[in-house]
Amino acid sequence: MTDQDLGQLDAEALELRLEEVGARMRPVEAELAALRAQRDVLLTERRRRERLQQREGRAALKASMRAGAFPTVADLVAGSDEGSLDDFTYNLKTGGEVRLGFPGARSQALAFTDGKQIAQARDLAEAARYFAAGWELGSPGRPGVRVHFPGTRQERLADPEEVFARPRTGA
């Protein structure tokens, strides 16, 4: 029936049609609600498995770090004189992934100080030169490695012995 035909219906006939359509919709709506409930259960299970996988991966990473499988940033700077800082993925001793330097920076960097001035090393060769010259990680009066959590503006100063470097997969 078209809109023009509906204009010909009296109020009682219109109400009857509304009831008929509502009666046909009820089972479909009930089935849709049941399908949504099934979908929500499946999505919850998928999230539970993802959390479990992340937790297990983080536990394995922390065990590897404790076992000495990965160097700390301090060891990396002391033992490497070539390569990019981006060749590594950095993790705190708690297992959380971090990036070196300030949030929003295009490339990772390490800050070095000689006690009165500060310099940024953008690769391991530059970091090795500062380290060989006796400079320390950090800034005057604030030793440490500035790290931030990827995708956030949250940053902190961490002890160089508590930030681990592991080779980036595919690097």
- pLDDT tens digit sequence for 96-125: 899 999 888 888 999 999 989 999 999 999
| SS3 assignment for 50-115 | HHHHHHHHHHHHHHHHHCCCCCEHHHHHHHCCCCEHHHEEEEECCCCEEEECCCCCCCCCEEEECC
Instruction: Give the mean pLDDT of the chain.
Output: 91
**The pLDDT of residue 1:** 58
Q: pLDDT value at position 171?
A: 47
Both 80 and 156 in one domain: the answer is yes
Shared-domain flag, residues 105 and 156:
yes
Share of the chain above pLDDT 70, in %: 96
- The pairing of beta strand 136-139 with beta strand 110-113: antiparallel
> Does the pLDDT of residue 48 top 50, yes or no?
yes
Instruction: Identify whether residues 154 and 94 lie together within a single domain.
Output: yes
**Spatial separation of the C-alpha atoms in residues 145 and 100, rounded to whole Å:** 7
Say yes or no: 48 and 82 in one domain: no
How many folded domains does the chain comprise? 2
pLDDT (0 to 100) of residue 104: 81
Q: Residue 170's pLDDT is what?
A: 58
Of 3-12, 32-41, 92-101, the least confident:
3-12
Query: Does position 4 have pLDDT exceeding 70, yes or no?
Result: no
Greater model confidence, 35 or 5: 35
Q: pLDDT digit string (tens) for 52-86?
A: 999 999 899 999 998 989 999 999 998 887 889 99
**Residue 13: which domain range?**
3-66
**pLDDT category of residue 47 using cuts at 50, 70 and 90:** very high
Query: Among residues 66, 88, 116, which one ends one of the domains?
Result: 66
Q: Where does a domain end: 33, 49, 66?
A: 66
Together in a domain, 92 and 59: no
